[in-house]
């Protein structure tokens, strides 16, 4: 045994190669069933700044009271009783021992990030006499992973913001154009129904003219929130432009889509928007619905829903109109 080997005189009845005690890249700590430290290798010396002679023969938790005793004691006992190793990632628990990072990583983070492996130690008769804890310094990996995750989150946020309307928080026209194309592709593949509704606030210009554009913005946000709160998770509500919204409704027939949109229309009709000065505003919706049929492009589907919307406006507003596809007899589209 070399001078760098730090093993308690009352050690377990096992052989410890010199290389384990001399390791500089992995921390090795061995304790017996009573949590007495019986091996403290060079890595542990350098990072704790405590020589092996100072801790060998001492209780692990007495020597290092900052350890999470409740957690670690259960881990060690489980390893001894069940004779199975366990592992703790820095993601679950950033560190076991409070070691400072290396000079190159000084200050970020405050303590070395560690992966910890705990496995049973057997004597020559095959009895478990304690455990070995292997401490891996993964600070650099943790920093790189955290940096990558921050960059990814920022990229996602940027992508998300580019798809959102700044006023209402709904998806914007750009996202709608992409989403309706994808939904049509899925509809063709899986043969499920798809409906598109175009929704417009009635007489919205008069709201802006009477109460101001700030009040109009409040009405738009309130409308968006009310509509969004009544939709299914699979539905996609977008601000199409101005006071117009587009609603993509997969897995729904025209009959059920009309029922849903009429519920939404009634909800907006009963909604009271209160301004900061106590003024209240009520609005209504006009809705046009078009059902996807094979051979119809996304642009044509929008045109048909828009046509149904204009029919609702012409019918006196605050109503829902469904587009009726062309028939062989008439050869023309109609709304009802």
Catalytic residue ranges? 243
Structure tokens at 201: 């606030």
Dihedral, CA of residue 299, residue 304, residue 306 and residue 309, to nearest 10: -160
CA neighbor of 204 nearest in space, from 218, 183, 191: 218
From residue 119, how far is each of 133, 134, 266, 312, 314 by CA, in Å?
7, 9, 65, 73, 78
Other beta carbons within 10 angstroms of residue 148's beta carbon come to: 10
Size of the chain, expressed as the number of residues it contains: 336
Task: Tell me if 249 sits within 8 A of 239, measured CB to CB.
Answer: no
- How far is 95 from 113, CA to CA, in rounded Å? 5
Is residue 142 packed enough to be buried (19+ CB in 10 Å), middle (13-18) or exposed (0-12)?
buried
State which H helix or E strand residue 173 sits in: helix 173-190
């Amino acid at each position: 045994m070399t001078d760098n080997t730090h093993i308690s005189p009352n050690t377990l009845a096992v052989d410890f190669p010199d290389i384990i005690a001399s390791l500089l890249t992995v921390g090795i700590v061995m304790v017996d069933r009573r949590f007495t430290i019986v091996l403290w290798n060079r890595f542990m010396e350098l990072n704790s700044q405590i020589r092996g002679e100072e801790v060998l023969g001492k209780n692990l938790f007495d020597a290092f009271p900052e350890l999470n005793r409740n957690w670690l004691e259960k881990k060690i006992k489980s390893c001894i009783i069940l004779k199975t190793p366990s592992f703790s990632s820095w993601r679950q628990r950033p560190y076991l021992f409070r070691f400072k990072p290396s000079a190159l990583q000084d200050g970020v983070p405050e303590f070395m990030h560690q992966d910890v492996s705990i496995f049973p130690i057997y004597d020559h008769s095959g009895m478990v006499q304690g455990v070995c804890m292997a401490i891996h310094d993964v600070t650099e990996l943790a920093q790189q992973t955290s940096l990558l995750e921050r960059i990814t989150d920022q990229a996602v946020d940027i992508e998300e913001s580019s798809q959102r309307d700044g006023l209402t928080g709904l998806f914007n026209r750009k996202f709608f154009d992409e989403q309706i194309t994808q939904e049509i592709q899925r509809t063709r593949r899986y043969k499920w129904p798809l409906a598109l509704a175009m929704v417009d606030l009635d007489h919205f210009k008069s709201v802006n003219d009477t109460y101001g554009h700030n009040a109009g913005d409040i009405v738009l946000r309130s409308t968006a929130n009310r509509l969004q709160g009544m939709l299914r998770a699979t539905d996609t509500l977008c601000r199409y432009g101005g006071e117009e919204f587009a609603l993509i409704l997969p897995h729904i027939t025209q009959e059920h889509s009309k029922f849903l949109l009429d519920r939404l229309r009634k909800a907006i009709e009963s909604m009271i928007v209160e301004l900061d000065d106590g003024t209240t505003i009520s609005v209504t919706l006009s809705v046009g619905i078009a059902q996807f049929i094979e051979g119809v492009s996304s642009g044509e589907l929008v045109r048909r829903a828009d046509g149904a919307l204009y029919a609702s406006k012409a019918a006196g507003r605050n109503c829902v109109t469904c587009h009726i596809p062309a028939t062989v007899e008439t050869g023309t589209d109609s709304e009802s």
